[in-house]
């Protein structure tokens, strides 16, 4: 009986190991996925002539870690709110490293969002393996803080990291920001708004530049002027709800406030598409939503047409912009690893001259 039990334990152990190998995510390269041999800077609307999307480099390949480890510096306060904290992961290097700030999706009306729980483990470990430090940005989400104030918090996060470059062994001139959904919109706003550095400020953090070297957005909005969305994206799938709540997004008491002098100024100040100019940093855009008429609030917010209008204006202005879409008609389906490889390859053009071979 004991012999049979030992044999059963051995069989189960081997089976678990084989299942782990089978399920283990492997980085996609041009050698094992034909999609990566195509020009991936195309979709059914955007111009395909740009050379912005480099093919993923096979040197990004290595077996992934299963969870995000403890930060090198955890819960670092960067702003006035309790939720304004950073989790910072320092890449091993004798020289100052580039850094990517990650802003996750705000998924509820209150609480602390955007941190390491929202981060792609695949993207996280690829950054560290290639000598790019990472800071996940935690923040307040929802109607309790108006969008214009929340964006100022994100700017301060960038300035805070730059102010502490010696402490964190960071090169302040090689700083990327990448976000998902609402975090993607924040990333675009940081890239397109005027630099908020105030050299005369009594706060040394605010003397630093708020302008990233390169930005990226996945499923993010093209503008936080929500009144423009029907024209840019399509009909609002729930217009009655929008009429009731859109003014709360800016901290207003009524819908009429949106059309006041103050309301129009605030909406213009958070309109990323309107702020975009020819001297803004390079942009990487991705989407994994269908390019159909918006079906619900989530689809409306993360619709690929947000990316398309940003791409079109970047092309008009000569701003380097890469755009990929999971559902483009001339592309094979892209995995999360595909998208992360292409994002990182694009970022590394502006952060590092050559990727480091991952061991």
pLDDT tens column, 271-292: 999 999 999 999 999 988 888 8
pTM beyond cutoff 0.75:
yes
Q: Where are the domains of the chain?
A: 2-351
Strands 112-113 and 139-140: antiparallel
Residues counted in the chain: 359
In this model, does residue 44 exceed pLDDT 60? no
Report the run of H or E that residue 176 belongs to, with start and end. Answer: strand 170-180
204: pLDDT confidence band, cut at 50, 70 and 90? very high
pLDDT tens column, 52-93: 444 444 444 334 445 667 899 999 999 988 889 999 999 999
Percentage of the chain lying above the pLDDT 70 cut: 72
Question: What is residue 55's DSSP assignment?
Answer: P
Buried-state track 152-161, b at ≥16 Cβ within 10 A, e below 16: bbbbbbbbbb
Given a contact cutoff of 8 angstroms between Cβ atoms, the answer to whether 291 and 325 are in contact is yes
Percentage of the chain lying above the pLDDT 90 cut: 56
Average pLDDT taken over every residue of the chain: 80
Instruction: Give residue 327's pLDDT.
Output: 56
219: pLDDT confidence band, cut at 50, 70 and 90? very high
Instruction: Give residue 353's pLDDT.
Output: 59
pLDDT tens column, 295-341: 888 898 989 999 999 999 999 999 999 998 765 445 556 778 888 89
Please name the fold of domain 2-351: Rossmann fold (3.40.50)
Q: Find the Cα–Cα–Cα–Cα dihedral 185, 190, 191, 193, rounded to 10°.
A: 110
């Amino acid at each position: 009986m004991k012999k049979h039990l030992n044999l059963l334990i051995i069989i189960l152990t081997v089976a678990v190991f084989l299942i782990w190998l089978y399920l283990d995510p492997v980085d996609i390269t041009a050698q094992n996925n034909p999609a990566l041999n195509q020009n991936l800077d195309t979709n059914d609307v955007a111009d395909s002539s740009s050379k912005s999307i480099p093919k993923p480099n096979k040197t990004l390949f290595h077996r992934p870690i299963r969870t995000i480890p403890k930060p090198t510096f955890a819960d670092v306060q960067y702003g006035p709110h309790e939720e304004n904290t950073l989790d910072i992961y320092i890449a091993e290097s004798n020289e100052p490293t580039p850094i990517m700030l990650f802003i996750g999706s705000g998924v509820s009306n209150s609480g602390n969002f955007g941190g390491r729980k929202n981060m792609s483990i695949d993207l996280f470990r690829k950054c560290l393996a290639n000598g790019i430090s990472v800071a996940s940005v935690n923040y307040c989400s929802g109607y309790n803080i108006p969008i214009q104030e929340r964006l100022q918090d994100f700017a301060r996060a960038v300035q805070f990291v730059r102010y502490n470059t010696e402490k964190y062994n960071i090169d302040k001139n090689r700083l990327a920001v990448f976000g998902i959904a609402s975090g993607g919109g924040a990333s675009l706003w940081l890239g397109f708004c005027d630099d908020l550095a105030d050299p005369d400020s009594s706060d040394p953090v605010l003397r630093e530049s708020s302008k990233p070297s390169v930005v990226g957005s996945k499923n993010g909005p093209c503008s936080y002027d929500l009144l423009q969305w029907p024209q840019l994206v399509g009909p609002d799938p729930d217009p009655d709800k929008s009429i009731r709540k859109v003014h709360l997004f800016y901290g207003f008491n009524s819908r009429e406030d949106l059309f006041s002098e103050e309301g129009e100024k605030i909406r213009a100040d958070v309109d990323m598409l309107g702020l975009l100019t020819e001297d803004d940093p390079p942009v990487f855009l991705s989407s994994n939503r269908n390019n159909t008429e918006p079906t619900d609030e989530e689809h409306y917010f993360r619709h690929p047409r947000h990316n398309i209008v940003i791409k079109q204006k970047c092309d008009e202005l000569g701003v380097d912009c890469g755009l990929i879409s999971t559902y483009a008609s001339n592309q094979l389906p892209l995995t999360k690893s595909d998208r992360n490889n292409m994002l990182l390859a694009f970022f590394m053009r502006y952060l590092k001259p050559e990727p480091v071979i991952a061991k």
